[in-house]
Structure 1
């Protein structure tokens, strides 16, 4: 029989027994009977801290792994986790190369769609890698079609992780400026939100993915990978859909960019030896579409926080990849799809020279200073 998940009421019972000398002498069933009427008389605000504790316990339980011992019998969990992280990164890179190679061999590289995802969060739990989601955005992107569609929503988890209100206020004030729960904007039913998001993302899977039940692969920046992974787990856990928690794989968009660029350069006969992950990472850090108007949600446009809007982020990633790769394939840049609406490009495609942009010498695109 599957073990029951911790819930808010049982978190209250445990706290009551720990703080009440009389309660420590009761069995669990007796304590539950004693606490029932007390719980019924509590307000939603009073119950909030116990809901938060139960939530954190559920998410952390899913993340926990059995500790192993080294030869002297000492826990080597850190080394095990380090090795697992290295293996996961290598597997991710192999998968990205396989995806791009498959599209290239089938002559569909220009049409191959990729999913970009970003999350904003309210706060991070102190005792685990748990981020509480505040905003989600995703978009579909291909080299030929640019950004074909996007999905964006704000999220209201109902309450802040217990004891984290001050940290959440500081984080919001210095980044996305979203109001905190319980006054947060957006979707409150996180289970439905996760199901709707998974459905939207899964629409990009091809027939082979559907046939073999392959996970959905999404891309984000290296800095946001732990945030995106944790926020998806949070939504899946809240919606009681743990069995689908592994349906979404989060990959490095910078490594995708590198793989695409090197592949395209090879296709057009341009040397690609100078390209490496440090080069592609630097372009994403520059983020020269950061101040483009008209690509953020209405709220972040109004409060002047477009840089931190997740919708703006995923669109900017598509624009950056388009800017650095489409010229090599003589793909015309379309406003809203490959570039922001107000940007006008005037470059001429010359296969032998267009890739010089990656060395910082391509200056006929309407931008300067990079």
Structure 2
């Protein structure tokens, strides 16, 4: 017989509520009616009343040896899972608030255009059960006024190869254009790389106590955090000095803080992420490291990827704040900015008339009136020629008589079919002889 489920605090509150109402002359037919009547009273009950019945429910569970903590099928406490989810929500809210405070403080005195922003990206061979096997990392520094300033790039030979992951590492090296870990070469010194990262982040103000935040794409937050944790563990450094934030949150907050018109910026944070994922500069040549350029894997290079993130933000934010884009700083060096501006101006002039504005002369009509273009028949291209009526022409004439071209079948007689000679295995005669049937 299955055990009855443990009673909660509301059950004992209902029993007490039912007894109190009985004393007043009010009787209920069943517990369902009691629950409907006691529900509002339980929701409005003060904490002292709730704690009284919660203590009763806890005592009853202890009498029946029922544990207070519930576990999943994997043996993980539900309370622990709820605590982890709460900490994650609190961390995301603290991150969002920190970014807002940073942007608002710098936007107040118009110093946001000179504030350096750091982007970080990593490539990893594979992910084990405990960590990421990192093969490449890049940290980029830029601001709105000067564009991309410099970048710190490292190709990493992992300190150790996890057992059983050789195939995954080979696949990762092919996917991201990395060299296979080499035992004959010296392993990368994570302590030195960590020191270089700290110095790079402090170059704007070496005397600052806290490091500036590092921004990356949402799907790269976990590997970047794990890479920093690995370096800090080997150097016995506290990893809490690093702040790894999502780049789309910064992009959304930044452009909405500097916008001057309502049609600028992003109404939702998801649109900022979509703009970054669009990756308009993805196939720009010559912006990756030398290793990936030789291997023809520039789009997978961390240097190229961080530059493309920066170009996307600069391309959207600089026109809003009134900064002229400079090739080689705010965009790739081979971009012809004058041709782009000319194309945009021509696109504006050639815009077609809007609906229900046929009486007004539009820019499209005025541009064509100044440049009268005529076709070979001498008719202006503004006049739409009448279309010819389409007729159906069959592949053959429907009344064609093919009976005359059909050749009649020849007449056949018995002479055309010679008799079969009786032989071994051929004809009925041979069959009868073989079966020894008397005629």
Q: Same fold (TM over 0.5)?
A: yes
Deviation of the 1:202 alpha carbon: 2.1
What SS does the corresponding residue of 1:134 show, helix, strand or coil? Answer: strand
In the alignment, which residue of structure 2 is the partner of 1:98?
A: 101
C-alpha distance in 2 between matches for 1:305 and 1:337: 23
C-alpha distance in 2 between matches for 1:173 and 1:256: 32
2:178 aligned with 1:164: no
In the alignment, which residue of structure 1 is the partner of 2:362?
A: none
Deviation of the 1:330 alpha carbon: 2.0
C-alpha distance in 2 between matches for 1:327 and 1:273: 11
What SS does the corresponding residue of 1:78 show, helix, strand or coil? Answer: helix
- Give the alignment partner of residue 241 of structure 1, picking from 236, 240, 246: 236
- The alignment covers a number of residue pairs equal to 270
Q: 1:242 to 1:163 in 2, by over 3 A?
A: farther
In the alignment, which residue of structure 1 is the partner of 2:92?
A: 89
- Give the alignment partner of residue 250 of structure 1, picking from 244, 247, 253: 244
Decide whether the 8 Å contact of 1:155 with 1:184 is kept in 2: no
Decide whether the 8 Å contact of 2:266 with 2:272 is kept in 1: no
C-alpha distance in 1 between matches for 2:297 and 2:184: 16
Q: 1:184 to 1:331 in 2, by over 3 A?
A: farther
Q: 1:226 to 1:248 in 2, by over 3 A?
A: same
Decide whether the 8 Å contact of 2:159 with 2:187 is kept in 1: no
In the alignment, which residue of structure 2 is the partner of 1:56?
A: none
State the structure with bigger RCO (CA 8 A, min sep 6), 1 or 2: 1
C-alpha distance in 2 between matches for 1:202 and 1:250: 16
C-alpha distance in 1 between matches for 2:289 and 2:266: 37
TM-score (norm 1): 0.68
**Post-superposition, which runs of at least 4 consecutive aligned residues in structure 1 deviate over 6 A?**
184-187
C-alpha distance in 2 between matches for 1:297 and 1:193: 18
| Bigger Rg, which one | 2
Deviation per CA, 1:278-333: give whole Å up to 9, x if none: 11111111101011011100110111111110000111111001111111122111
What SS does the corresponding residue of 2:171 show, helix, strand or coil? Answer: helix
C-alpha distance in 1 between matches for 2:194 and 2:244: 15
C-alpha distance in 1 between matches for 2:162 and 2:83: 29
C-alpha distance in 2 between matches for 1:186 and 1:329: 48
Which structure 2 segments of 5+ residues have no match? Answer: 1-66, 72-76, 349-439
In the alignment, which residue of structure 2 is the partner of 1:72?
A: 69
What SS does the corresponding residue of 1:216 show, helix, strand or coil? Answer: coil
Deviation of the 1:216 alpha carbon: 3.2
In the alignment, which residue of structure 1 is the partner of 2:116?
A: 113
In the alignment, which residue of structure 2 is the partner of 1:283?
A: 275
Decide whether the 8 Å contact of 1:124 with 1:132 is kept in 2: yes
C-alpha distance in 1 between matches for 2:267 and 2:240: 32
Q: 1:331 to 1:272 in 2, by over 3 A?
A: closer
C-alpha distance in 2 between matches for 1:270 and 1:138: 34
In the alignment, which residue of structure 1 is the partner of 2:177?
A: 177
Matches within 5 A, 1:29-44: none
C-alpha distance in 2 between matches for 1:155 and 1:184: 14
2:316 aligned with 1:324: yes
TM-score (norm 2): 0.58
In the alignment, which residue of structure 2 is the partner of 1:217?
A: 213
